[in-house]
Structure 1
């Protein structure tokens, strides 16, 4: 299973960003998680098809509720665990 990671920079706290990502990933049948990693940064780990990931990335850039979001930094990674659903992590 292909794994992708994204770093989102902008005001990701105090809103519904993580819930928005959960809903978008679930609609696209992606697995993995989203979590805040620092002040104004979040990380998303996604497992699924490259096409679905590309759709998520495009939706992040166009629709995510992050008014000051910088360009999404995304990459393919080696990840040793396969997830069976998408979740919000603390």
Structure 2
């Protein structure tokens, strides 16, 4: 009887261990999937960042700013007579 109890305990322990191994494998696969997803998102963000940096450098070019101000907004640099100095 004692041997049967020990054998039953051993079988139970092995079964629990097998379930834990299966669970660990599942979690490892799930985490690897999440890692791949995050890496893909990171790569997309890096690409977007590069595009934004390029766009920023283009938009901050002084010649382009003047061109947009003149053509789209109808602005022009004031002449010396149009400049008003204010002293407080």
The normalised TM-score by structure 2 is 0.21
Bigger Rg, structure 1 or 2: 2
Structure in which a larger fraction of residues adopt strand: 1
Structure in which a larger fraction of residues adopt helix: 2
**Greater RCO between the two (CA within 8 Å, min separation 6)?**
1
